[in-house]
């Protein structure tokens, strides 16, 4: 198997000085991720300096390092670690000559759609599909994901995020996608934008990096569709749409109950595919349509894509469900603890509404961050989807939730630990509980605690 990088290739790409020959099979800037054979990129950050972790990385088996100051370990010396990583990203993108590259952004569903696409593509190309792991979608995560891409890659799927205008414009020029997807527009990070229209404009920056002949994939059901379409037309040679509405290019022709999931029929160009989707909620169907649109645009195997989508389950923090032993029975835990905005809150609550249970529906909802002057308004707006979801008991976490707590006369807690105590006192066998909030609220700690030892 060809090495991902040799020290000579790293030096040539970065303009650095090679001090010893080595080869590596992976790249990381987190010493805790080193398993053996990696290039460790030592970057200076606001909180830590990667050079302080060089010994740890090599003790764990790193093959070499990219550094901005000399080291006793095998390394390539560059002026700046992040700039060196970016140089590797550019070279990795350049040398993957046969790759169809797909970029994904949006206010909601970025990671879920990225994972749906990679499952769909892996079904046909298990060894030559590459994707960004976790939520590596920022100014360091995107270059890292690119630097990890093997030269033999057939399909590359990259998630890109932002919370300020101009950020996606830069990231998409690293990725240079052949296919660019906007999943949805919602008031996430609206504190930094002021309006959803400004958010749509910032998300549309992804199209600026499209390769000649590229395809833009847009959410047909979005109220901002026309705005996105106008932006995409400037850079894309082709526009495809996905959604649940009749006008979408890629949409479900039929959705029927099937076992534990739903059997979905989709027309993609001249091909029709029937597959079973195990993930609940209309938003999961939309995500699947986005994935099939990407496969169709890339000329992939639609039938195999259906098989890949059938293997999808909820992601940790993004819809994973667990049955936990509780007293003399079980409770269902819906883990949506990673992030939250109004659109994703409503989607998660709809999943709770559809849960087939013998007991009650409970929700522990954490504050939504970065909403600025609209915080009170947008938190209060959650009252409607909570009521529509037939939630029996709700507890709220974070000061931003105070207006909603007063409107619902619901308990409000300052910290996740207090909400966990409430939940342990409240849960009964047969119940289902949804945990959702911005990551910084810490509801994932409740999930971990409940899974580690229930009652």
Separation of alpha carbons 274 and 62, rounded Å:
45
Please state the rounded mean pLDDT for residues 39-51: 92
Please state the rounded mean pLDDT for residues 208-235: 97
Is 230 buried (19+), middle (13-18) or exposed (0-12) by CB count in 10 A? exposed
The answer to whether residue 114 scores a pLDDT higher than 60 is yes
pLDDT tens digits, one per residue of 91-111: 999 999 999 999 999 999 999
Strand order in the sheet with 215-219: 129-131, 155-159, 100-105, 179-182, 215-219, 238-242
Percent of the chain with pLDDT over 90: 87
Q: Quote the Cα angle for 97-175-36, to 5°.
A: 80
Cβ contact 101:214 at 8 Å: no
Q: Is 195 annotated as a binding residue?
A: no
Q: Parse the chain into domains and list their residue ranges.
A: 5-88, 96-310, 320-452
pLDDT tens digits, one per residue of 151-181: 999 999 999 999 899 999 999 999 999 999 9
Q: Is 107 annotated as a binding residue?
A: yes
Q: Is 71 annotated as a binding residue?
A: no
Instruction: Provide the CATH number for the domain formed by 5-88 in this structure.
Output: 3.40.1390.10
Instruction: Read off the pLDDT band of 415 (50, 70, 90).
Output: very high
DSSP-derived 3-state class of residue 298: coil
Please state the rounded mean pLDDT for residues 194-213: 96
Instruction: Say whether domain 96-310 belongs to CATH 3.40.1190.10.
Output: yes
pTM for the predicted model, two decimal places: 0.89
Instruction: Read off the pLDDT band of 455 (50, 70, 90).
Output: very low
Q: Is 108 annotated as a binding residue?
A: yes
pLDDT tens digits, one per residue of 74-89: 999 999 999 999 999 9
Cβ contact 81:89 at 8 Å: no
DSSP-derived 3-state class of residue 225: helix
CATH topology of domain 320-452: 3.90.190
Q: Is 111 annotated as a binding residue?
A: yes
């Amino acid at each position: 198997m060809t090495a991902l990088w040799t020290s000579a290739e790293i030096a040539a790409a970065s303009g650095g000085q090679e001090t010893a020959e080595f080869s590596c099979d992976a790249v990381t800037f987190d010493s805790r991720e080193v398993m053996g054979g990696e290039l460790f990129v030592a970057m200076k950050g606001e909180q830590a300096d990667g050079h302080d972790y060089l010994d740890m990385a090599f003790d764990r088996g790193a093959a070499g390092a990219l550094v901005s100051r000399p080291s006793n370990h095998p390394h390539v010396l560059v002026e700046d670690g992040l700039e060196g990583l970016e140089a590797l990203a550019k070279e990795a993108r350049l040398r993957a000559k046969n790759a169809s590259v797909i970029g994904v952004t949006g206010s909601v569903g970025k990671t879920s759609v990225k994972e749906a696409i990679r499952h769909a593509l892996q079904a046909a190309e298990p060894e030559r599909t590459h994707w960004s792991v976790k939520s590596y979608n920022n100014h360091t995560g995107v270059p890292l994901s690119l630097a990890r891409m093997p030269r033999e890659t057939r399909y590359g799927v990259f998630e890109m995020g932002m919370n300020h205008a101009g950020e996606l414009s830069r990231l998409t020029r690293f990725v240079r996608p052949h296919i660019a997807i906007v999943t949805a527009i919602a008031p996430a990070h609206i504190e930094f934008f002021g309006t959803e229209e400004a958010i749509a404009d910032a998300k549309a920056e992804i199209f600026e990096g499209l390769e000649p002949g590229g395809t833009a994939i847009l959410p047909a059901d979005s109220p901002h569709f026309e705005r996105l379409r106008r932006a995409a037309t400037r850079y894309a040679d082709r526009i495809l749409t996905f959604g649940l509405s009749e006008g979408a290019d890629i949409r479900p022709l039929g959705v029927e109950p099937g076992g534990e999931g739903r059997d979905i029929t989709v027309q993609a160009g001249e091909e029709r595919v029937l597959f079973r989707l195990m993930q609940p909620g209309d938003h999961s169907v939309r995500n699947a349509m986005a994935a099939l649109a990407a496969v169709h645009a890339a000329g992939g195997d639609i039938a195999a894509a259906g098989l890949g989508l059938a293997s999808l389950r909820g992601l940790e923090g993004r819809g994973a469900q667990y049955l936990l032993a509780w007293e003399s029975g079980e409770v269902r835990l819906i883990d949506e603890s990673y992030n939250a905005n109004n659109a994703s809150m409503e989607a998660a609550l709809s999943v709770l509404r559809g849960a087939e249970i013998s007991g009650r529906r409970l929700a522990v909802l954490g504050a939504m961050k970065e909403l600025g002057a609209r915080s009170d308004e947008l938190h209060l707006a959650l009252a409607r989807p909570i009521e529509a979801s037939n939630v029996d008991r709700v507890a709220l976490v974070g000061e931003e939730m105070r207006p909603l707590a007063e409107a619902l006369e619901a308990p409000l807690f300052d910290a996740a630990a207090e909400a966990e105590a409430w939940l342990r006192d409240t849960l009964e066998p047969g119940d289902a509980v949804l945990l959702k909030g911005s990551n910084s609220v810490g509801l994932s700690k409740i999930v971990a605690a409940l899974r580690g030892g229930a009652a």
